[in-house]
Amino acid sequence: MNRKTTSGLKIICLNRKASFNYFFEDLLEAGIVLKGSEIKSIRDGKVNIADSYAIEKNGEIVLINSHIASYKQASYSNHRPLDERKLLLNKKEINKLIGKMQRDGFTIVPTKMYFKKGRAKVELAIAKGKKQFDKRASKKNRDWNRDKARYVRKSS
């Protein structure tokens, strides 16, 4: 029996805003095509995926609006920070994602970026947007859980 361990994961950045703005239906892992200066900048931790999302372009899934800062030491071969980056997925997974986006109205949002065995990976969530009343309810629930934990701590 094979067991997956998380010991080889090094989380680079998280998208905390995504869980507040979306309901997640499914999570999947994708590789990402990067240039040399991009990977060096990612290893320095200068990446932000808070406002990014993925779309279908020419039968491929592309990550839009992810900010990877320019690498100082890369002189003329530097990259553009807000460039589109191709995601590495199987054809079956690509077709599933395209169908969900077009038919069911879902969106693809990156939730975290990490290194797995030395390779940069992105965890994608197939998500549906929350309405304003859903956001208020989740905030209310979070505040109540915080207060409840405070009461339990004081009583014991």
Given this model, what pLDDT does residue 126 score? 92
* Greatest pairwise CA separation for the chain in angstroms: 63
Domain boundaries, the chain: 10-130
Question: What global pTM score does this model have?
Answer: 0.77
Quick one: pLDDT at residue 7? 63
Interval 71-75 mean pLDDT: 80
State which fold the 10-130 domain adopts.
Small Protein B; Chain: A; (2.40.280)
The pLDDT tens digits of the residues spanning 82-129 come to: 888 999 999 999 998 898 888 887 899 999 999 998 899 999 999 988
* C-alpha closest to that of 126 among 5, 58, 30, 9: 30
Choice between 3 and 69, residue whose per-residue pLDDT is larger:
69
Task: For residue range 21-57, list pLDDT tens digits in order.
Answer: 888 998 999 999 988 888 888 888 889 999 899 999 9
